Amino acid sequence: MHITRNRPDSLPGPARNFTGTVWLDEIADPGAPSRLVVMNVHFAPGARTAWHRHPHGQVLHVTEGQGLVRRRGGPAETVRSGDTVWIEPGEWHWHGAAPRSFMTHLAVVEAADDGTTIDWAAPVGDDEYPA
């Protein structure tokens, strides 16, 4: 058993993978044989991930604010504090804050055999983000 009382530093979301201001707090990344990775992700209004997918899918649990999630071929959908989203393995998608609201979610994934948790693609430009 291990109790974390001193949190790791918050890390800024890298500009190649995120649009706008995003901060990442690691909650759990215990390593093998566990595949679990849990992050707490804070999005400023208008901030969002690039398009991406997860090899074993992802659970998003919104803990604060209002946000948007979109899967390829679908509309951008509003999510609010208390909502939980399941993203299928390999499903291309993005998630982020609503245009005028902060949003925080827990993000839960399982790593692939090679340690990969995310496969990144193109940024979500202003032309495909609902104003």
- The contact set with Mn ion (CB under 5 A) reads 58
Q: Residue number with the shortest CB distance to Mn ion?
A: 58
Minimal distance in Å, beta carbon 58 to Mn ion?
5
Minimal distance in Å, beta carbon 60 to Mn ion?
7
Q: Is the Cβ of residue 1 or residue 119 nearer to Mn ion in the bound state?
A: 119
Burial of 41 (0-12, 13-18, 19+ CB in 10 A): buried
Torsion angle, CA of 75/81/83/87, rounded to 10 degrees?
Answer: 60
Strand partners, 71: 93
User: How many Å apart are CA 116 and CA 18, to the nearest integer?
Assistant: 18
Q: Is the Cβ of residue 66 or residue 108 nearer to Mn ion in the bound state?
A: 108
Q: Is the Cβ of residue 66 or residue 105 nearer to Mn ion in the bound state?
A: 105
